Amino acid sequence: MLGKKEKRNDQAEKRWKTMLLVAFGQQKMFKRWVPAFLHLLVYIGFIVINLEVAEFIIDGFTGQHRIFAPLLGGAYTVAMNAFEFLAVGVLVSCLIFLVRRNITKVPRLSMSELKGWPAMDANLILIIEITLMMAILKMNAADQILAERGVDHYLPIGNLFFSGLLQPIMRGFSTEFLIFVERAAWWFHIVGILAFAIYVTYSKHLHIFLAFPNTWYSNLKPKGEMKNMPEVTNEVNMMLGIPSEAGAEAPAEIGRFGAKDINDLSWINIMNAYSCTECGRCTAECPANITGKKLSPRKIMMDVRDRTEEVGKSLDAKGAGLVDGKSLLGDYISQEEINACTSCNACVEACPINIDPLSIILEMRRYTAMEESGSPAQWNAMFQNMETSFSPWKFAPTDRFNWADKVKDEEIK
C-alpha cells in the first residue's frame, strides 16, 4: 500500500483466463520442461497432500485416528497410495532442486544477488519439504506395523507401496519406539505446516499465494506498448486544445515525473516484487545481462522488495520511513543498471507469473531524464534530434527519403 493507486480491472474475462492458465495451469513454466515437470509435482503435491493434513487436524481435535478410513474403505487405501506417490514426487523433486542449486550450480541460480539470505531461504525450504515428506512416509510405515501388532488405536488400511518399503527396516523396533515415531512424525507435520504458513510471509515463497492476484492484474497491453505519463499527456493535450480525460484544468501540483523511490511506483509494481520467486528466468533471458552488463531484472525486483521492507519496518517503528536519506534509485538500483536495459521485454515474457520489471526500469529512467537531466550525453542528443528532426538522427525531415532517390538511380543504371 506504499505504492500509488492504479486501476487495472478491465477485461475481467481475459484476466480470469490469464490467471487460470498462467498461475493455476503453470503455462509459462513449460518453456523449460525439466524444472517445469519437477515444479508441477511439488505444486500438485502441496495442494493434494494438504488434504491429508486436514485429516491429521480433525483426528487431533476429535481424538480419533484416520477418521475417514472406515467411511471410505478401499478408496481410502487408493487415496493414501496417491498421497504417498506425490510425497515421493515432492521429495525427489526437492532433492534435484538442491543438486541444481548447490552442486551443478545452474548459472541463473548462482548469481551474485542470490548470495546470503536468498540462497539460504531457497535451500531451507527445500530441506524442510524433504523432511516433511519423509515424516509422512515414516508415520505411515510405523502406523501399519502397529496396526499389524493389534495395538489399540491403530487401524489396518491395506497395502501402502512407498511406506511399505520402509517397513522391513522398522519391524525390529519396539512397539513403544514405533508409537513414538508415529506420534513424533504426526506432530512434526502439523507443526511444520503451521510454521511454514508464518515463515512464508518472510520468504520468496510468498509467491505461492501472490502468483494468483499477480497474474490477474497482469498488463494485458501488447508487450511493446509503453505507458504514457498522464501528467505529460494532459499537458500536451491542453497545449493542442484537445479535451483531456482529466478535465480542462491542469492538476494543482505534479508530485514527481517517473520514480525515485517506492512511493512513486504503483501498488502493482510492489506486488510484483513480493510475488517474485527469484527463479532468475528473467535475468537468464535478458540480452543486457547475457552480454555482461550489470543489469539483472531479478535484482531489480528484489531491490524493490528490500526497499519496501525497509520503509515499512521504519514506519512501523515510528521511524523516518521514506525520508531516511535513502531512495530506491541510487542506494539500491544504480544508473548503470537502468541505462543498460534495451526495453525489449524479454524479462516480462520469460517470467512464469507475468512480473513486469521493465515498467519499474522505465519509471526510474523517466525520473533521471525529466527530474535530474541525468541521461547519458548520447541519449540527450537523440532526445533533441527527436524533438527537432522527428528522428534519432540529425538531418532535416525533408531529407528523410533521399536514400530512396539514390536507390532509384542505381536501379536505372
How far is 263 from 2, CA to CA, in rounded Å? 5
Q: Output the pLDDT for position 247.
A: 53
- Count of CB atoms within 10 A of residue 55's CB? 19
Report residue 218 as a C-alpha cell: 497482469
Three-state SS for the chain is CCCECCCCCCCHHHHHHHHHHHHHCCHHHHHCHHHHHHHHHHHHHHHHHHHHHHHHHHHHHHCCCCCCHHHHCHHHHHHHHHHHHHHHHHHHHHHHHHHHHHCCCCHHHCCHHHCCHHHHHHHHHHHHHHHHHHHHHHHHHHHHHHHHCCCCCCCCCCCCHHHHCCHHHHCCCCHHHHHHHHHHHHHHHHHHHHHHHHHHHHCHHHHHHHHHHHHHCCCCCCCCCCCCCHHHHHHHHHHHCCCCCCCCCCCCCCCCCCCCCHHHCEHHHHHHHHHCCCCCHHHHHCHHHHCCCCCCHHHHHHHHHHHHHHHHHHHHCCCCHHHCCCCHHHHHECHHHHHHCCCCCHHHHHCCCCCCHHHHHHHHHHHHHHCCCCCCHHHHHHHHHHHHHCCCCCCCHHHCCHHHHHHHHHHHC
Q: Could you tell me which of 339, 365, 336, 345 has the C-alpha nearest to residue 264?
A: 365
Residue 333: phi and psi, rounded to 5, are -115, 130
Mention the CATH class of domain 32-215.
mainly alpha
Report residue 20 as a C-alpha cell: 487460470
Q: Output the pLDDT for position 77.
A: 92
Name the pTM for this structure.
0.84
Q: Output the pLDDT for position 338.
A: 95
**Burial (CB count <10 Å: 0-12, 13-18, 19+), residue 36:** middle
Q: Where are the domains of the chain?
A: 32-215, 255-375, 383-413
pLDDT tens for each residue of 305-352: 999 999 999 999 988 889 888 999 999 999 999 999 999 999 999 999
How far is 80 from 72, CA to CA, in rounded Å? 11
Contact 332, 306 (CB under 8 A): yes
Taking CA atoms, 268 is separated from 20, 183, 231, 405, in Å, by 19, 45, 19, 50
Axis crossing angle, helix 74-102 with helix 33-62, rounded to the nearest 10: 130
Domains 32-215 and 255-375 share a fold: no
Q: 266: which strand partners?
A: 4
Domain 255-375 fold is Fumarate Reductase Iron-sulfur Protein; Chain B, domain 2 (1.10.1060)
Grid cell 510454521 in the structure block, residue? 195
Spans in the chain with pLDDT lower than 70: 244-254, 413
Q: What is the dihedral of CA 344, 372, 272, 338, to 10 degrees?
A: 40
Residues across the chain:
413
Q: Could you tell me which of 297, 303, 375, 383 has the C-alpha nearest to residue 335?
A: 375
How far is 201 from 203, CA to CA, in rounded Å? 6
Axis crossing angle, helix 297-316 with helix 357-370, rounded to the nearest 10: 80
How far is 176 from 185, CA to CA, in rounded Å? 14
